[in-house]
Amino acid sequence: MRREFGFPGDAWLVSTIGALHPRKSHELFIEAALTVSGAEPLARFLVIGDGELRSELQLLARARGLGDRLVFTGVRDDVARLLSATDVYVKPGVVEGFIGITVIEALGLAKPVVEFDTEDVKLALTDGETGLIVANGDATGLADRIVFLLRHPEVGLRLGDAGQRLVLERFDFGVLAGRLEEFYQGVLERPAALLS
């Protein structure tokens, strides 16, 4: 997979997935990638997805000297394959919202995740337990955590394993369906007077 993007076979792979529009904060990912590249020359970066900011973000990456180190893949239908090859997954969004299916997918594949500190993140990540959380908008802090995980793969393995267990316990579709069924069963068992 690394060869497909022109990366060395021993490259560290850092990826992010999402639509390329302002609320996803890909410019912060690019800034972090620049810092990580300076600290870890074998680091390479994938921005998976497409959107209105693609040309602008590509220009920014080139202007920052990332050239062949950062690839914009466009929309892909092999996201699981890309995540499987990833060493560190990053969610650079600074806007509150849903935790995001890509984070759950990365955790489900036992990949270490680094994110900014937004409320939605706390549904799946506990800093130092199931991932690493950085002050919102702090691209330098984001880069520091990425470099730490690249240099300490044993920590990434521990976080990834804990994240995978969390996904199986909390986000597995069978578990979610069971909880929803229990909720509806509880509603059906309540006396009609309590429901009106």
CATH number of 3-195: 3.40.50.2000
Q: What is the mean pLDDT of residues 153-174?
A: 88
Quick check: pTM over 0.75?
yes
Q: What pLDDT was estimated at residue 69?
A: 97
- The answer to whether 90 and 14 have CB atoms below 8 angstroms apart is yes
Query: How confident is the model at residue 187, as a pLDDT?
Result: 61
Contacts of 87 (CB under 8 A, 6+ apart): 12, 13, 14, 111, 112, 149, 150, 153, 156
Q: What are the extents of the domains in the chain?
A: 3-195
Q: Residue 154: pLDDT above 60?
A: yes
